[in-house]
Amino acid sequence: MKFKERIETDPFGALMNWGELSHCSWSGVVCSHDGRVVILNLRDLSLQGTIAPELGNLTHLKSLILRNNSFSGIVPEEVTELQELEILDLCNNNFVQPFIFGRRLLQISPPGLNPGFGAAPPLPSPPPSPTEDEEVPVDFPFFLPPPTGSQPPPQNKRANPPTESQANIPNLPPVFPPPAESPPPQVSDVPHAGNNKRYHKIYIIIGVLVGVSGVMAALVIFFLLWNQKVKMIKPWGATGSSGQLREAVITGIPKLKLSELEAACEDFSNIIGSTSSDATIYKGTLSTGSEIAVLAVASGSLQDWSVDHETQFQEKIQRLSQVNHKNFLNVIGYCHEDEPFNRMLVFEYAPYGSLFEHLHDQDAEHLEWPMRLRIVMGIAYCIEHMHNLNPKPISHTNLSSSSIYLATDYAAKVSDFTFVSSTTTPVDPMTNVVSFGTILQEVITGKIPDPDSLLHDETKPVADPTLESFQEEVMEKLWEVVRECLNQKLEMKEVVVKLREITGITAEAALPSRSPAWWAELEIISTEV
């Protein structure tokens, strides 16, 4: 609770339930079986404030993760001296110390030697130097320069002053410590136990280097495979009088076999939705456990599939592959087979349902005010990104609360499941602005929107009665943005500027903390290769 008192800004209400019920049920807190706090994970929450030294009282804390917030000031000694702390991740904050990395390791430090790069800085009142058989916990790599004016630690404390018996022996020179600048003892000069410790330290360093090298090699292989994925959709030959389409090159989108998607979707038995163009949406699970959404066209045969439909299908894949935004439900594969006939798109899966369900379904989980603001900002940033794509901007074909899905941390994932349409006329970007204003109205009121009535309604907005709390001043400013969107007075980039000033939520804060698409894409590419 002392930690919570020092939090100045909590835009997502992450600590709202702190102080209620048992502390083990608080957001970000994980306890052991006996109720002791062992993990505190508050990453990616845009928290602003300073760290309370009282965190040092959590003597059983093993993991402290505050990455991607706006903490400032210094890190209290009480926190860095926690004896059981194994992971300390404070990256991407505003501390005065240059925290580079947060992995906390147990390393062997020779007695009295300055550990150098990768070691914790000397503290104002350092504890007694460890013996040669002790393990010294340090942060790696975690470098802070020593305080100005501090003296370098002694280079060797193992030399002893002359004993009484030595002093009484005539002509025997006394034994003094070697000079401070003398080099460290060679391996052959150190007792056998010290050698074992040094070998143990070397093994740890080698293990870390091997692990890092393995991860880097995996990433290099992944991106090499990804760059090689240039797929060619073969020309579709219709019946004699229909002619042929030009070849369409699709970069970076793997082509999947029908049998692979049948296995993932359990013979297409798990239907989770449909679209206005009569396409069906299935849920599937890849062999690694990554979940996917598969959009399948309703046409039953090649003869029912017109040239215009094929053109739209190919253009749809090309457009969606260009979006590449974390607030967008990205396409990660497609299926194109004539016998048996199938046209399918494979998307990453957002497990928490649609925004429409959360606003209007009594059985769905309720969205509090900070969560709604973050969702709205995620939608706005994504649509702005689509409108600013080069060389050709993209407009969403059917933007509504039903096309907004939620990731595991309730971040917005904008989907575009429209397969084919009766018209090929591009959607006007201002249509997206009007649709966004409608969604914003829906988020504020909790009611299915009626844009026509709003244009003639001069009263203040009526907030969703299910909201336990909200900022009335913020809501009134958002309501003005709704009016300007419905009256088509703003472009999407102007909408984003206004909303960012009102909510204070940056593009990074609106992104999902993690995306399942990476693992799904990796498996699809590996399988295809």
* Domain regions of the chain by residue span: 2-95, 242-349, 350-528
The reported pLDDT for the residue numbered 422 is 55
The reported pLDDT for the residue numbered 54 is 93
Does CATH number 3.40.50.720 belong to domain 2-95?
no
The pLDDT of 394-400, averaged and rounded, is 92
Q: Is the pLDDT of residue 423 over 70?
A: no
Task: Report the CATH number of the 242-349 domain.
Answer: 3.30.200.20
For residue 70, the SS3 value is strand
The reported pLDDT for the residue numbered 80 is 85
The pLDDT of 462-469, averaged and rounded, is 90
pLDDT tens for each residue of 261-278? 999 998 998 888 877 666
How far is residue 177's CA from residue 165's CA, in Å, rounded to a whole number? Answer: 18
Closest CA to 198 of 107, 260, 125: 107
The reported pLDDT for the residue numbered 241 is 26
Tell which wins on pLDDT, 357 or 153.
357
The reported pLDDT for the residue numbered 195 is 52
The reported pLDDT for the residue numbered 261 is 92
Q: How confident is the model at residue 421 (pLDDT cuts 50, 70, 90)?
A: low
Whose tokens are 């706006």? That residue is 70
The pLDDT of 325-350, averaged and rounded, is 91
pTM: 0.53
Does CATH number 2.40.50.1070 belong to domain 350-528?
no
Q: How confident is the model at residue 456 (pLDDT cuts 50, 70, 90)?
A: low
Q: How confident is the model at residue 376 (pLDDT cuts 50, 70, 90)?
A: very high
For residue 88, the SS3 value is strand
pLDDT tens for each residue of 291-300? 999 999 876 7
Q: How confident is the model at residue 96 (pLDDT cuts 50, 70, 90)?
A: confident
Mean pLDDT of all residues in the chain? 74
Could you please report the per-residue DSSP string of 454-519? HHT--SPP---TT-S---HHHHHHHHHHHHHHHTT---HHHHHHHHHHHH---HHHHS-S--THHH
Q: Which two tokens stand for residue 101?
A: 């990395």
Tell which wins on pLDDT, 234 or 194.
194
How far is residue 480's CA from residue 376's CA, in Å, rounded to a whole number? Answer: 15
- Count CB-CB contacts under 10 A for residue 125: 6
Q: Is the pLDDT of residue 150 over 70?
A: no
Crossing angle of the two packed helices 492-503 and 429-445, in degrees rounded to 10:
30
Tell which wins on pLDDT, 375 or 214.
375
Q: Is the pLDDT of residue 120 over 60?
A: no
User: What single-letter amino acid sits at 310?
Assistant: E
How far is residue 333's CA from residue 317's CA, in Å, rounded to a whole number? Answer: 9
Where residue 287 falls (left for φ over 0; alpha for ψ -120 to 50; beta otherwise) is alpha
Burial degree of 75 (CB within 10 A; 0-12, 13-18, 19+): buried
CA of residue 417 relative to chain centroid, distance: 24
The reported pLDDT for the residue numbered 22 is 82
How far is residue 66's CA from residue 268's CA, in Å, rounded to a whole number? Answer: 42
The reported pLDDT for the residue numbered 244 is 29
Q: How confident is the model at residue 206 (pLDDT cuts 50, 70, 90)?
A: confident
Whose tokens are 């020179």? That residue is 173
- Count CB-CB contacts under 10 A for residue 371: 19
The reported pLDDT for the residue numbered 169 is 39
The pLDDT of 142-167, averaged and rounded, is 40
How far is residue 425's CA from residue 421's CA, in Å, rounded to a whole number? Answer: 9
For 74, which DSSP code?
A: -
pLDDT tens for each residue of 172-191? 444 444 444 444 444 444 44
Q: 22-31, 151-160, 205-214, 477-486: lowest mean pLDDT where?
A: 151-160
Crossing angle of the two packed helices 492-503 and 472-486, in degrees rounded to 10:
180
